[in-house]
Amino acid sequence: MRIALFGSTFQTDKKQYVQRILSQLEQHDDSLIVEPTFHQYLSGLGLDMRGHDVIDSDAFSADLAMSVGGDGTFLKTAAAVGRKDIPIVGINTGRLGFLAEVSPDDCTEAIDALHCHAYSLESRSVIQAVNSERPFSFSPFALNEVAVLKHDNSSLIDIRTEINGELLTHYLADGLIISTPTGSTGYSLSAGGPIIVPDTRTLCLSAVAPHSLYIRPVVLSDDVTLTLSVESRSHNFLVAIDGRSESFSTGTTVTVRRAPYTVKIVKIHHRKYFDTLRAKMMWGADQRV
């Protein structure tokens, strides 16, 4: 297989796992193309990266993309893959690992399973943001969430929110998160949003620290168009797309809708979503231990 390799550059203690992954892929005669920063990082750790090509443009092609890191690395991989329809497998060397769910200790077995086709693919919905001021300086597509947030002071922002042109409400809050079902266990969850099963075609609106106690998360069909207009005392605000953020001036309109493509996630051993959910959320675990 031709595999595009992406990874975290903040985990020097995980060198042995990366070495194991590279060795296992070489045993299967896989050809590797490596994200430039990760290639340089691995070379700096003393790993022999000769013979492994560097991804030199956005027009790369591969049979599979592999993310080595946490969920943040997985999101960066998904942004790089975009609409190329390349399946992504995540090796979790980070913390929680909802998306990158293959344990480093299981990576050898997982790579063998990939070559035996002992896996399934899940299609996850993606959302897209556009704004009325200028194009984003990064990919405007999000696997997890698009968030509109206050910028640089403690004052609330006013987010006028319309659904298909009809006013929903004005959110007076630190921000508003529009999450996909995949993103419901991320930033949205920390803001009090519900956990949503990935294959439901929905979006969730969760306010960040709302001023009004009656504000609650709202779940919508993902075929709607959301229009957000922001007023702020600092005259600017942030738009964050899967952790990538950029500042805009008040008066800028942000529109969020479903993207015209999905992201394919590799599931080794047909692991079930609820098994992962119970494990990651520690449901049923004895907290006294």
Catalytic center residues: 71
CA 129 – CA 141 distance, rounded (Å) = 7
